[in-house]
Amino acid sequence: MQGRASTRAYLDKAVPRELVERVLEAARWAPSGVNTQPWLVWVASGATKKRIGDDIVAARQAGQEPNPDYKYYPDKIGEPYRSRQKACGFALYNALGIQRQDIERRTEQWMKNYHGFGAPVELFVFIDSALEKGSWVDTGMFLQNVMLAARGCGLATCPQAAMAEFPDIVRGHLEVPPTLSLVCGVALGYPDWVHPVNGYRTEREPVANFTTWCE
């Protein structure tokens, strides 16, 4: 768990389907309320993955507003969340040598989101839109299992809310019914540990800062 990190650079090396299946085989044992197992996964690679990324980038460049199936962040983030968010962004761009005022390079880096940072596989995780928040919590536990299982198979991941910004584009390419909400994408591949973007780490609060003991 401590070694898992959001990986943003990958080797140009294909991931065998059997290995992806192994990851999902392990992840499917995640808990869920009354065993509903609400998660659904589409695995995109090759030309399909590229077309999805190209179309999302084109939508962004055309000024199209994102229309995600759910709201990830509040309109205004208060403390301590805002400070953590800023520290995370600073660490990322500092690792890449991108200055705050360099809007062009910051935008270029952000656009890499939509092609999974070069990972050969993108997992798209969906959930039935009729389900409630509890099932989204369950899906989060499944996603954590995916990321840990991938690490156990020598792979790296990056969970990507950015891939859910234009769900209609994704659904169209994958022929997913509109009754399913897109939770996120997960970039999956072999990590490029030489790339500087994979050299930084974000901090975590100590246990004492988020735990209250009642005896």
Class of CATH domain 17-71+115-195: alpha beta
The phi, psi pair for 116, rounded to 5°, reads 60, 30
pLDDT computed for residue 100 by the predictor? 83
Q: pLDDT tens digit string along 131-182?
A: 999 999 999 999 999 999 999 999 999 999 999 999 999 999 999 999 999 9
pLDDT computed for residue 101 by the predictor? 86
Least confident of 81-90, 164-173, 178-187: 81-90
Q: pLDDT tens digit string along 9-68?
A: 999 999 999 999 999 999 999 999 999 999 999 999 999 999 999 999 999 999 999 999
CB 173 within 8 A of CB 48: yes
pLDDT computed for residue 204 by the predictor? 95
pLDDT computed for residue 153 by the predictor? 97
CA distance 35 to 49: 31
CB 159 within 8 A of CB 140: no
Residue spans of the domains in the chain: they are 17-71+115-195
Q: 177 preceded by cis ω (within 30°)?
A: no
Mean pLDDT, range 106-124, rounded to an integer: 95
Give the residue from 98, 198, 111 showing the smallest Cα distance to 160. Answer: 111
CA distance 121 to 91: 26
